[in-house]
Structure 1
Amino acid sequence: MCMVSAPKRDEDPENFSVRNYGSLGKIDGFNYSQVPSGEQQHGPEDWRTFRARLVSANSTVVSGHKQRPRNFNSREWAHETDNIEEGCVLVATEELKRHPLLSEAVVLVLQWPDVNYSTCKLIVLNKMFPYDTSSMDIVDPMLRNLNLPVFMGGPAVGGAGFGSRFHVLTREKGVAGFECIMPGLYVGNMGVTLQSAMNSDFAMRLYLGEVELEKRHLRAQVEAFGWWKIVACSRDAIFSTVFPTTDMWCHINRLLTS
């Protein structure tokens, strides 16, 4: 287990809108003069990075006995947020350290429904099976031919057969059947997605199963039980080729405190 210090939470009186891609508007408490020159203009494709830059420019971290400005790397960043949104991750706290699946888990929010729906969909990102698809007799033959490492996406598998509910993640844009979950990260499942993955040379990750929860239950886990930190982070923090996926929990916590 890696040792990390608790991140300093910023008291932001105004939340960012989940769907407000292009016009975040004036945010009370933020010093816009601290944002580097040329960075105050932002497009709809990178609103998360723009928000992260604002958070970094207006917060500090404790280093030794002193406070210092937070570092910011436009490729790898992470910060806590108050709102659950599609593309954010839930990072397990010490409250889950005894849970057999969710200890040190990082969970990606794939679907955060609007007011008309109550169920959200998530996948655990960093729990790898000790074998790949080529050695899994319980997986559909089409999946077996992918020769991908297999991750445990969650306990909900659905239907008959373990592989009936799965997700494939990639960083590459334009692969047929994949949808953008956040800038630079794409997810697909079933049918045409599998065929595209089989015919692609791009790096892919296969997740079997998923997590399905009522929104109110997930909010209770965050707010009442303290099981999760809600974290917005960059594509490279979620899908990195530099550090092992099993180190993701430690890596994101380091980003939160650096």
Structure 2
Amino acid sequence: MCTGNGDGSKGSNPPSKKSHRVNLDWREFRANLFAHEQAEKAESDAHSQTGTPQESKPLGLKWAHPIPVPETGCVLVATEKLDGVRTFERTVVLLLRSGTRQPQEGPFGVVINRPLNKNIRHMKPTNTELATTFADCSLHFGGPLDASMFLLKSGEKKLKEFEEVIPGLSFGAGNSLDDAGALVRAGVVKPQDFRFFVGYAGWQVDQLREEIESDYWYVAACSSNLICGGSSDSSSESLWEEILQQMGGHYSELSRKPKQDM
């Protein structure tokens, strides 16, 4: 599996083993604030219409809400403008790094709702770890750029070998496979904790900003449970709809529209 950048692409280089760790899931605190604000608004609207106050609901295990700008660990949710664009139609991209102003350090991530319905062994890998330790792991389409990556559900473990994206979820690339195999053999993690991706998605900073401003992507923060909770290919395929429904409002309405009506 290749770990180089695609020729002529505008995307950033694949990740190094440099660490950008997340020590606290402050995202949940922010989500609670957002949910509280939405509940207050709904209560105000309901009270003005019916005179009856509405009770606010506690934040569940699965949540998603819009955010104004991309950040590491957020998701990019394809809008209706990408319907008909085969590569990104109704995709959810997990942003592994939000990027910098440096040309070779733009934002990049992987599509997390496009299972290929194949295991690694079907690809006849030449890498020893892929051919043995991870042979039965499922493969997913990660994006159009030429590199392979993996996500690892690390739970509360702090694994210095990989880069944490959100609490409980780390990522690595082809140059981290030996470390990944060693951790499996040591019993620290299991093969089923990994999700492997063929390709990735990358942008220059201004390029992604322009695509968001042109309404090609919704930017959202999601719970770890929502991102990592898909235990089957079918559940990951429905992630686009589920995130939009969790975001509520007009996002939820979009999730129910058939493609031909857009």
Per the TM superposition, whether the score is higher than 0.5 is yes
Give distance in 1, aligned partners of 2:58 and 2:82. Answer: 29
TM-score for both structures, normalised by structure 1: 0.71
Q: Residues 51-100 of structure 1, C-alpha deviation per residue, up to 9 Å, x if partnerless?
A: 000000001588xx969677443421110010110000001111111111
Change (3 A) 1:252 1:114: same
Structure 2 residue corresponding to 1:222, chosen from 209, 212, 218: 212
TM-score of the two chains, using structure 2 as the length reference: 0.70
Q: Would you say the 8 A contact 2:125–2:131 is kept in 1? A: no
**Comparing both chains, which one has the higher relative contact order based on Cα–Cα distances under 8 Å and sequence gaps of 6 or more?**
2
Q: Corresponding residue for 2:64? A: 78
* One-letter amino acid of the structure 2 residue matched with residue 232 of structure 1: A
1:1-258 → structure 2 map (5 Å cutoff): 45-60=24-39, 71-117=57-103, 119-137=106-124, 140-145=127-132, 146=134, 147-158=136-147, 165-172=148-155, 173-175=157-159, 177-189=161-173, 190-191=175-176, 192-196=178-182, 198-199=184-185, 200-201=189-190, 203-224=193-214, 226-241=215-230, 244-257=235-248
Q: Classify 1:69/1:111 alpha carbon distance in 2 versus 1 (closer, same or farther; 3 Å).
A: farther
Alpha-carbon distance in structure 1 between the residues aligned to 2:97 and 2:81: 24
Whether the 8 Å contact between 2:73 and 2:166 is mirrored in structure 1 is yes
The worse-fitting range, judged by mean Cα deviation, of 132-141 and 146-155 is 132-141
- Report the Cα distance in structure 2 between the residues aligned to 1:181 and 1:85, rounded to whole angstroms: 10
Q: d(CA) in 1 for partners of 2:57 and 2:217?
A: 24
| C-alpha separation in 2, matches of 1:92 and 1:252 | 11
Identity in percent: 25
SS of equivalent residue, structure 2 residue 145 = coil
Alignment match, 1:161: none
Structure 1 unaligned spans of 5+ = 1-18, 22-43, 159-164
Structure 2 distance, partners of 1:255, 1:72, is 14
TM-superposed deviation, 1:212: 1.5
Structure 1 pair 241–197 and aligned structure 2 pair: CA distance change class (3 A): farther
| Aligned length, in residue pairs | 208
SS for the counterpart of 2:146 is: coil
Alpha-carbon separation, structure 2, partners of 1:212 and 1:232: 19
